[in-house]
Structure 1
Amino acid sequence: MDSPTVLRRRLGTELGKLRAASRMAAKDVAATLGWSASKLSRIESGSVPLQDRDAARLLAHYGVDDPAEVKQFINLARQSRQQGWWHAYGDALPDWFRAYIGLEADATKIETFQCELVPGLLQTEDYARQVIRAMNPGEASEDIERRVALRMERQQILDRPQPPRIWAIIGEAVMRRQVGDPSQMSGQLHHMADMAEGRPNMTIQVLPFSAGAHAAMGSSSSILSFSDLPGRVAYSEVTTISIYTERESEIARHEDTFLRLMASSVQPEKSVSWLREVAEEYK
């Protein structure tokens, strides 16, 4: 089942197509309906849920009067307002990360580069607990455990009938930085190697220190693709700030950066062997 995040994006895309077909400028539609231009923009981008009344007004303005078609739009609006599974975790999930969880849940392809830590979808429970504790000093143990449980539940998308295609590039520092005790770190590296070897949808590459300066110095990012939505989404994160972009020109820059990182990284098979070698060193 599609996540509410993706349903909002789909609804916004369809409404944007209706406006374009009607040859109406966004500012004119917003003014006619008594809305701000930013409200219509957020609706079309899927950033906010759409209420039935607002959906009906938009459809009427665009000349959509077929009862069956109106009903489909209203049903889609209602489904997009439902809460995703992640809402059950409350404050354990920061507001700035909620949109990403919704997109990740329905992505068919995820390309990610992490220079400092193992990507969340590939973390073991022990590794995740250490990272979350370090990033949330002073937080109660029960709150830490809720965050760990959330991260583990995210990984269930890897076990669905048609899991997303994952291509992860990690910096060598990810292997060399001991998170937890040596046994836990060894287990994390073996886990990544097992994932890469045992899952045809999973590819992992290591970007070595010897690569020197590279195309993503000081940054980590992900590119998410979807089966039934136009365009892709690029996501970057810095501590408590998340940046999303859907502009094709910016997506192209992210993709070019990722391709350069692939070219500078160790080939997948050798990366897996290297992960196991370093894992044994921790023992």
Structure 2
Amino acid sequence: MALRKTIRSRRLGKQLREFRHQANLRQEDLVVVMNEGLNSEYRISGNHWRRTENGLSRLTPVHLARFCEVLEVEEEQATALERLRAKADEPGWWQEYSDILSEIGEMLLELGEDAVRIRTYDTVFIQGLLQIETYTAAVANSAIATVRTVDVDRVVELRMRRQKRLSDPDFRGLSAVLTEGAIRTIVGGPAVMAAQLRHLLQISQNPKVEIRILP
């Protein structure tokens, strides 16, 4: 099954390719050997395998198990591959916004979801993980050349959902550096900016959030 390339699917594809290279097998040779041990309904095509190694096709548990059997992958490594396969197969919540996100944008969000620590440096606008809704809407409206008016609400919704990562139990911390210009530039008017700055003061009380201002 085809899919949009993700960090997880790329990571899985890379690991599969490394195991194949270690076994000194070409893709077409690997597929032949794998198919010898599979019933006809489970056989995999060379094109599907190529796309899997490129992070563009899903891999079934049957195919991964056969791959590990053929290449004699150790049990611990096979278990790690299966966890990664299952993770790559799970749709991320950000994929609901694929109509307003580029492939690179989706990958960046995915990286943020997998990261346990995030460090950011922002010079123009306040870091997205620290924005309030009205500030985000003002930023999106200022980028009207690249964000359609009808998409502004979805951009705001996406950013607010992304901020939930800060409260996840496995997330360890955000370290954000903002330039002085980012907090002095009025975005959305004085009332919006005042509310945004109050939010920065409030969220900085969160032990997982560190905010520094660069003069």
Instruction: Give the one of 208, 211, 215 matched to 1:204.
Output: 211
Q: Which residue of 1 aligns with 2:90?
A: 82
Q: How far off is 1:59 after superposition?
A: 2.4
- How far does the alpha carbon of each residue in 1:204-233 deviate from its partner, in whole angstroms, 9 at most, with x for none? 11122xxxxxxxxxxxxxxxxxxxxxxxxx
Q: Which residue of 2 aligns with 1:121?
A: 129
Q: Which residue of 2 aligns with 1:62?
A: 71
Q: How does 1:137-156 map to 2 (within 5 A)?
A: 137=145, 139-141=148-150, 143-156=151-164
Residues 140 and 155, structure 2, Cα contact 8 Å, conserved in 1: yes
| TM-score normalised by structure 2 residue count | 0.72
Query: In 2, distance between residues paired with 1:41 and 1:69?
Result: 17
Residues 110 and 165, structure 1, Cα contact 8 Å, conserved in 2: yes
Query: In 2, distance between residues paired with 1:5 and 1:90?
Result: 12
Instruction: Tell which deviates more after alignment, 153-162 or 74-83.
Output: 74-83
What code does the residue aligned with 1:136 have?
I
How has the CA–CA distance of structure 1 residues 40 and 82 changed in structure 2, closer, same or farther, with 3 Å as cutoff?
A: closer
What code does the residue aligned with 2:189 have?
D
Q: How far off is 1:179 after superposition?
A: 0.6
Instruction: Give the one of 90, 96, 114 matched to 2:104.
Output: 96
Instruction: Tell which deviates more after alignment, 73-82 or 112-121.
Output: 73-82
Q: Which residue of 2 aligns with 1:111?
A: 119
Give the 3-state SS of the residue equivalent to 1:168 in structure 2. strand
Q: Which residue of 2 aligns with 1:236?
A: none
Q: Which residue of 1 aligns with 2:27?
A: 30
Give the 3-state SS of the residue equivalent to 1:187 in structure 2. helix
Query: In 2, distance between residues paired with 1:170 and 1:38?
Result: 43
Query: In 2, distance between residues paired with 1:181 and 1:75?
Result: 48
Instruction: Tell which deviates more after alignment, 176-185 or 33-42.
Output: 33-42
| TM-score normalised by structure 1 residue count | 0.57
Residues 174 and 208, structure 2, Cα contact 8 Å, conserved in 1: yes
- How far does the alpha carbon of each residue in 1:23-65 deviate from its partner, in whole angstroms, 9 at most, with x for none? 335xx443534569985763xxxx4453226535532441249
Query: In 2, distance between residues paired with 1:82 and 1:98?
Result: 14
Unpaired stretches in structure 1, ≥5 consecutive residues: 209-283
How has the CA–CA distance of structure 1 residues 92 and 183 changed in structure 2, closer, same or farther, with 3 Å as cutoff?
A: same
Query: In 2, distance between residues paired with 1:29 and 1:110?
Result: 39
How has the CA–CA distance of structure 1 residues 55 and 72 changed in structure 2, closer, same or farther, with 3 Å as cutoff?
A: same
Instruction: Give the one of 156, 159, 168 matched to 1:160.
Output: 168
Query: In 2, distance between residues paired with 1:178 and 1:104?
Result: 27
Query: In 2, distance between residues paired with 1:161 and 1:75?
Result: 20
Give the 3-state SS of the residue equivalent to 1:203 in structure 2. strand
Residues 132 and 144, structure 1, Cα contact 8 Å, conserved in 2: yes
Query: In 2, distance between residues paired with 1:38 and 1:123?
Result: 41
Q: How far off is 1:182 after superposition?
A: 0.6
